[in-house]
Amino acid sequence: MNKEYILKLEQYTISRIIEFGEKYKNENIIETSYINWNARDVIGHINCWVDYSKNKLVSIKTNKLFKDIEHNDIEIFNKANYEKYKIKTLFENINEAKILFKDYENVINLYSEDELLSKEFPIEIIDDVYSSSEFSCALWEYIALDLFIHPINHIFYQYIKNNNYNEFINEIEKSKNYSNNNIKIYKLSNLFENKEIKEKHFTALLNIIKNKNNKFIEEIIKINMM
């Protein structure tokens, strides 16, 4: 996995964040809560984890101490950052995302190709969804989670949550060149409030693609219905 590919992931993801924000720019006035985010909240959530990951990589390269988030503290971290970003506007969060992703790109360039492949760095994937059972924690995998997998899955989820199933399908199709058609990347099931809501949305999605012979979307639906 080379640096050029990682940088393409970064550029792809920020383009999706910008377009996502544009599509939901009129949603910003809607009252939200920690369990019911709008686009502003989603982008704020993405920002806080990109910033965390970026600072972690800088600390590794500079041999500085870094306070890792423990598994039990993920919810605390997420709630605190929800409060932080909800007082900003959607476009303030988009502009911050542009800066953070560019800063992250500069941090990636501090590492060599061999270092990106290394599994010797003191990193751990702490997200409950993308556990080390699926990601062996080579450095590039850690970066791909925070710059690509985590952000786009939150965007995909918002499209489904808002019944924008065709947008979801279109975004999946756009992402395939970057995901290398890896179905495991598209596990969104943990983002749903409960099993009934999840099944309602994926059943609706299944009905939309019926008779369209889209095996890739069918496989995504299957792993999320399990």
Domain map (residue ranges) of the chain: 3-164
Specify the pLDDT at position 28: 59
Topology at the third CATH level for domain 3-164: Four Helix Bundle (Hemerythrin (Met), subunit A) (1.20.120)
Specify the pLDDT at position 130: 45
Structural tokens at position 181: 């058609």
Specify the pLDDT at position 190: 86
Q: Could you list the pLDDT tens digit for every one of the 226 residues in the chain?
A: 688 999 999 999 999 999 999 999 887 566 789 999 999 999 999 999 999 999 999 998 888 878 888 778 889 999 999 999 999 999 999 999 999 999 999 999 999 999 999 888 877 655 544 443 344 578 998 899 999 999 999 999 999 999 999 999 999 999 998 998 899 899 998 899 889 999 999 999 999 998 888 999 999 999 999 8
Specify the pLDDT at position 125: 59
Specify the pLDDT at position 26: 83
